[in-house]
């Protein structure tokens, strides 16, 4: 809806020529075939004509929209634009807010165009199918609107609307009200549009897919009979073309709808038809799908068996099973009744919080409810997992707010917050001792380090943090097959301040049971490379290359590719020409799969490999492209300056490097920018003594602030802008989630020619040949 509000203002179109035929040219349409079965379904589904969503726009914005959409709304050009704009949203594969906002603006414009065409009398079947899909996507705002990304998009859209329309009074709250109205009305619009397609174009190829989308929407709204009828008819209409997976999806829906007999028949038919395509991977995926169906079958049968069971435990179990089947309304009714009958038991509270998480991703309110139940009886594993997945998030928010309001004051409640967290960890220990041990180590470390860091006692706080790697490694003896423990071992390896200990830490062998774990193997390969770069250890670099080359199946393709390509680039910088070629090919392939800011990093890295293997002239266009995707990145600005120097285009370079030195995101990059300022000064573009003094002061400051075991000084031509993510959360599919990993962003760059001499404290050489 945020996109729809701003669409016409941000994407003003060219006028569309009118193509309405003159009265003399109009022809009488041939009578359409009526499909009695589809018509009967459409009649049951159709709530009747609905007001279009575009009418929800404020009057000032609607006038802007009407003024921007000229020409015949039913023209082939207008219809094609609407269909393509709606379809483009399904192709967005990024979380870059700027890219998503632009895609949302295009989608919003397509929705307005489609509704405008339908209001003008268009009954184009492909347009109706696209519009039904658009309403389905709009309904997804019901869940999406609580995410942080949605908040970013909403604020960006409102600011855009203010700028374009000079609408100073427009507020985010007003848009949120409109979003709520849109979400409420989207289902009936989707039903009416689907019904029109079924009645008016029963033979069109889009009918089957549109029925499946409508079935998905009805399932999400827990209208089970409609969802099953739509999918069953869509599969039946395929006849012999229906595949095993088609029947498996129908079986899953019937199990969720507690239609056991129909589900069993569909599962039998699915197994008889087999995978949709040949190949071992397809066969394995289909086998897993059948196994998942068996889980649904058991859950559905158990739900029916427990229908009249009188006990709290049995009904609590039934409610949890209903949640797994997607029947939130039924589950909520059970938990409400249990809470009324058993007010001193935590289990009904836990069940209600699960319903809220599944329905609305409402973690903040859930956390407060679960905290209020901490003294109740009946706290089970699920209680502790939900609590640990939500309460720390709320606590962190309160701590951050207090720090923002009074940055120089201690937080009196801090010790109590950690005690509360450790109390939850102690409760989890009975159910998952390995995970509890990891959480205890994290909480006790933060309890000791946080007050020191808040009081600006940085060295003391860092000393506490640097004890974690050894403690994590010790936990592998107690819990050798715990993925949580091994993730902690690899993530915290960057904090070891001793080269030999760091090398021994990252080269420790995984137990046999975990040696083919995709995630752990990727984490170890990344840790090997990071520690190799930090300590400039060629033996570890070779080990990292071997680890990255032998990653098991299941690793994220782009993550593996970026890891391998970065290692190849460093090997190439050190003389391995085949590795250099592999690096540029891999970075280029990854860049082709990315959009927006996600594309900037691989393109930058292509540029620097090309600069090393070919010439700065050939590399510069890649940097220009990377900067177009994300102009804010200092690494790209830095590299453009370095290549410009090599091309003897030195005008403006002191200002460029000074800006990077002041505002660069990476400590090593800021230092190299200062080293370039020394190089330029030695070439007559600055004061040599001053720039050298500034470099020395910056070096001391950066090294004092470096949290890792050692600063990456960039001698190998790579710097990392990593994210160290340590967090707890709750997933509707995976339960309690512990994230403990370093997500690297390795930037290739051109080291300053004076860097070595400056680090050695010697007089720099003139930078004639960088």
Contact 654, 682 (CB under 8 A): no
Confirm whether pTM is higher than 0.85: no
Closest CA relative to residue 425, chosen from 402, 412, 413, 442: 442
Closest CA relative to residue 301, chosen from 248, 256, 355: 256
Contact 582, 568 (CB under 8 A): yes
CA dist 45 and 40 (Å) reads 9
In angstroms, the Cα distances linking 209 to 34, 93, 251, 486, 675 are 19, 22, 18, 44, 60
CA dist 426 and 444 (Å) reads 12
Contact 479, 437 (CB under 8 A): yes
**Two structure tokens written together for 362:** 């409402």
| Phi, then psi, of 756 in degrees rounded to 5 | -60, -45
pLDDT at 65: 62
pLDDT at 582: 97
**Two structure tokens written together for 277:** 């395509």
In angstroms, the Cα distances linking 746 to 213, 453, 571, 632 are 41, 27, 14, 17
Helices (H) and strands (E) in the chain, counts: 36, 4
Q: Burial of 641 by CB count in 10 Å (0-12 exposed, 13-18 middle, 19+ buried)?
A: buried
Helix (H, G, I), strand (E, B) or coil at 242: coil
pLDDT at 110: 85
pLDDT at 6: 42
3-state secondary structure 385-441: HHHHHHHHHHHHHHHHHHHHHCCCCCCCCHHHHHHHHHHHHHHHCCCCHHHHHHHHH
Characterise 222 by phi-psi region: left (phi > 0), alpha (psi -120 to 50), beta (else).
Answer: left
| Phi, then psi, of 741 in degrees rounded to 5 | -155, 160
**Two structure tokens written together for 708:** 């890792």
- Sheet strands (E) in 623-749: 718-720, 723-731, 735-743, 746-748
Axis crossing angle, helix 597-613 with helix 557-573, rounded to the nearest 10: 30
In angstroms, the Cα distances linking 455 to 197, 460, 701, 713, 724 are 66, 10, 19, 29, 22
CA dist 311 and 341 (Å) reads 11
Q: Which residues of the chain have pLDDT under 70?
A: 1-31, 57-68, 93-99, 141-180, 762-770
Contact 569, 577 (CB under 8 A): no
CA dist 595 and 95 (Å) reads 10
CA dist 62 and 75 (Å) reads 21
Closest CA relative to residue 744, chosen from 515, 548, 484, 486: 548
Contact 472, 494 (CB under 8 A): no
Residue 200 CB: number of other CB atoms within 10 A? 16
pLDDT at 401: 80
CA dist 312 and 335 (Å) reads 10
CA dist 58 and 419 (Å) reads 50
CA dist 468 and 463 (Å) reads 10
Characterise 258 by phi-psi region: left (phi > 0), alpha (psi -120 to 50), beta (else).
Answer: left
Residue 749 CB: number of other CB atoms within 10 A? 23
pLDDT in tens, 552-592: 988 999 999 999 999 999 999 999 999 999 999 999 999 99
**Two structure tokens written together for 319:** 């409610």
CA dist 205 and 234 (Å) reads 11
pLDDT in tens, 243-255: 999 999 999 999 9
Residue 655 CB: number of other CB atoms within 10 A? 9
Dihedral sign, Cα of residue 390, residue 393, residue 395, residue 398: negative
CA gyration radius, the chain: 30
């Amino acid at each position: 809806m945020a996109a729809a509000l701003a669409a016409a203002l941000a994407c003003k179109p060219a006028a569309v020529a009118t193509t309405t035929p003159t009265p003399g040219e109009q022809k009488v349409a041939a009578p359409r075939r009526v499909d009695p079965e589809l018509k009967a379904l459409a009649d049951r589904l159709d709530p009747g004509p609905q007001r279009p969503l575009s009418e929800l726009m404020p009057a000032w914005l609607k006038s802007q929209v009407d003024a921007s959409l000229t020409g015949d709304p039913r023209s082939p050009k207008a219809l094609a634009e609407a269909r393509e704009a709606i379809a483009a949203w399904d192709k967005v594969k990024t979380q870059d807010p700027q890219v998503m906002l632009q895609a949302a603006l295009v989608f919003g414009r397509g929705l307005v165009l489609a509704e405008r065409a339908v209001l003008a009398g268009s009954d184009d079947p492909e347009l109706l199918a696209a519009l039904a899909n658009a309403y389905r996507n709009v309904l997804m705002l019901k869940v999406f609107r609580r995410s942080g990304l949605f908040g970013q998009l909403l604020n960006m859209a409102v600011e855009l609307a203010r700028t374009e329309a000079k609408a100073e009074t427009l507020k985010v709250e007003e848009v949120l009200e409109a979003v709520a109205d849109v979400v409420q009305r989207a289902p009936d619009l989707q039903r009416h549009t689907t019904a029109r397609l079924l009645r008016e174009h029963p033979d069109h190829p889009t009918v089957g897919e549109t029925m499946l989308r409508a079935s998905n929407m009805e399932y999400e709204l827990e209208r089970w009979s409609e969802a099953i009828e739509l999918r069953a008819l869509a599969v039946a209409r395929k006849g012999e073309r229906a595949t095993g997976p088609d029947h498996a999806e129908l079986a899953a829906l019937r199990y969720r709808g507690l239609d056991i007999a129909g589900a069993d028949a569909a599962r039998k038919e699915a197994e008889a038809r087999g995978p949709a395509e040949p190949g071992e991977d397809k066969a394995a995926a289909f086998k897993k799908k059948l196994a998942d169906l068996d889980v649904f079958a058991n859950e559905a049968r158990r739900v029916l068996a427990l229908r009249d069971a009188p006990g709290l435990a049995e009904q609590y179990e039934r409610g949890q099973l209903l949640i797994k089947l997607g029947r939130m309304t039924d589950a909520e009714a059970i938990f409400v009744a249990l809470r009324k009958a058993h007010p001193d038991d935590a289990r009904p509270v836990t069940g209600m919080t699960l319903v809220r998480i599944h329905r609305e991703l409402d973690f903040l309110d859930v956390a407060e409810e679960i905290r209020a139940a901490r003294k109740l009886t009946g706290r089970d594993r699920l209680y502790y997992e939900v609590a640990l997945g939500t309460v720390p998030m709320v606590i962190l928010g309160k701590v951050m707010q207090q720090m923002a309001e009074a940055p120089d004051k201690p937080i009196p409640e801090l010790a109590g917050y950690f005690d509360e967290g450790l109390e939850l960890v102690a409760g989890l220990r009975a159910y998952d001792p390995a995970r509890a041990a990891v959480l205890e180590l994290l909480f006790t470390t933060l309890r000791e380090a946080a007050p020191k860091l808040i009081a600006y006692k940085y060295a003391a706080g860092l000393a506490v943090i640097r004890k974690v790697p050894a403690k994590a490694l010790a936990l592998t003896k107690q819990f050798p097959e715990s993925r949580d423990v091994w993730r902690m071992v690899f993530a915290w390896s960057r904090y070891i301040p001793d080269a030999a200990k760091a090398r021994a830490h990252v080269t420790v062998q995984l137990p046999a049971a975990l040696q083919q774990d995709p995630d752990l193997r990727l984490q170890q390969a990344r840790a090997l490379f990071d520690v190799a770069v930090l300590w400039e250890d060629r033996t570890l670099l070779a080990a990292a290359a071997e680890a990255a080359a032998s990653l098991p199946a299941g690793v994220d393709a782009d993550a593996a590719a970026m890891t391998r390509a970065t290692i190849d680039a460093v090997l190439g910088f050190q003389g391995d020409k085949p590795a250099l070629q592999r690096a540029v090919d891999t970075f280029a392939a990854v860049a082709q799969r990315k959009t927006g800011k996600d594309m900037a990093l691989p393109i930058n890295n292509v540029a620097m490999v090309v600069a090393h293997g070919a010439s700065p002239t050939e590399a510069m266009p890649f940097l220009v492209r990377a900067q177009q995707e994300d102009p804010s990145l200092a690494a790209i600005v830095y590299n453009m300056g370095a290549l410009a120097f090599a091309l003897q285009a030195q005008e403006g370079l002191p200002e460029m490097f000074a800006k990077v030195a002041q505002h660069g995101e990476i400590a090593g990059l800021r230092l190299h920018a200062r080293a370039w300022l020394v190089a330029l000064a030695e070439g007559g573009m600055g004061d040599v003594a001053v720039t050298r003094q500034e470099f020395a002061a910056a070096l001391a400051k950066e090294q004092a602030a470096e949290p890792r075991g050692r600063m990456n000084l960039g001698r190998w031509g790579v710097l990392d802008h990593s994210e160290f993510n340590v967090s707890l959360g709750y997933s509707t599919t995976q339960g309690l989630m512990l994230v403990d990993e370093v997500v690297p962003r390795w930037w290739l760059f051109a080291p300053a020619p004076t860097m070595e001499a400056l680090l050695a404290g010697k007089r720099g050489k003139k930078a004639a040949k960088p």
